[in-house]
Amino acid sequence: MMPSWPNLLILVAVIVLIFGTKKLRTLGSDLGASIKGFKKAMDNEDDNPTSNNDANFSAPSSTHVEKNHDKKE
């Protein structure tokens, strides 16, 4: 059940009284910046689907690795 308009107005007034307009304004701008950054990252990912940002779970190559052991003389 959807609340009526007078109930929503009272709810908004209580929220403004509790948090204040300055804090709500900064919260709104931070939320907008977060959404904008998320959309930008999603668009960037769509443009370059074969980027090297993915984890590489393949087995290491079979190149020779020398181990440096300390030898007592």
pLDDT tens-place string over residues 15-51: 999 999 999 999 999 999 999 999 999 888 777 655 5
State the Cα–Cα distance between residues 57 and 45, nearest whole angstrom: 20
**Whole-structure pTM value:** 0.47
pLDDT band at 11 (very low <50, low <70, confident <90, very high): very high
Burial (0-12, 13-18, 19+ Cβ within 10 Å), 24: middle
pLDDT band at 7 (very low <50, low <70, confident <90, very high): very high
pLDDT band at 3 (very low <50, low <70, confident <90, very high): confident
> What pLDDT is attached to residue 67?
56
